[in-house]
Amino acid sequence: MSTHQKEICTHSIEELPNNISLAKIFWTFFRIGLFTFGGGLAMGTVIRYELASKNKWVTDDEFLSEFATATVIPGSIAVNIAYLQGYRFRGKIGAATAVMGTILPSFITIFAIAYFGLPYFNHPKVVAFFRGSALAVAGQLLFTGFIFGKKLLVKWKNIVICLISLLMATVLGLHPIWSLITAAILDYFLFTKNNHTSVDPDC
Partner 1 sequence: MIVSMKILIDLIESFMVIGLSACGGGLVTIPLIQHEMVNVRHWLVSNDIAKILSIAQMTPGPIAINAATFVGFKIAGIIGSVMATLAVIFPSLIILITISSFLKNIKQNEAVIKINQGIQAGVLSLILFAIWSFGSTVISSTLDLFVTIAAFLMLLFLKNKIHPVLVIVLCGIVGLIIY
Asked if residue 78 lies in contact with residue 40, where contact means CB atoms within 8 angstroms, the answer is: yes
Q: From residue 52 to residue 81, what is the string marking binding to partner 1 with x (rule CB under 8 A)?
A: -------------x--xx-xxxxxxxxxx-
Cα gap 156→186, rounded to integer Å? 13
Length of the chain: 203
Smallest separation (angstroms) from partner 1 to the CB of 97: 13
Nearer Cβ to partner 1 (54/92): 92
Q: Which helix (H) or strand (E) holds 47?
A: helix 41-48
Interface with partner 1 includes 28 (CB under 8 A)? no
Binder to partner 1 among 84, 89, 90, 98 (CB under 8 A)?
A: 84
Cα gap 165→168, rounded to integer Å? 5
Binder to partner 1 among 22, 41, 45, 52 (CB under 8 A)?
A: 41
Smallest separation (angstroms) from partner 1 to the CB of 150: 10
Binder to partner 1 among 62, 87, 94, 101 (CB under 8 A)?
A: 87
3-state SS class at 198: coil
Interface with partner 1 includes 51 (CB under 8 A)? no
Q: Which of the residues 105 through 124 are near partner 1 (CB under 8 A)?
A: 105-107, 109-111, 113-115, 118, 121
Q: Which of the residues 162 through 191 are near partner 1 (CB under 8 A)?
A: 162-166, 169-170, 175-177, 179-188, 191
Distances (CA, A) of 69 to 65, 175, 190: 7, 26, 24
Interface with partner 1 includes 92 (CB under 8 A)? yes
Interface with partner 1 includes 161 (CB under 8 A)? yes
Smallest separation (angstroms) from partner 1 to the CB of 91: 9
Nearer Cβ to partner 1 (23/137): 137
Please give the angle made by the CA atoms of 139, 143 and 147, to the nearest 5 degrees. 170
Distances (CA, A) of 176 to 43, 158, 172, 183: 24, 18, 11, 11
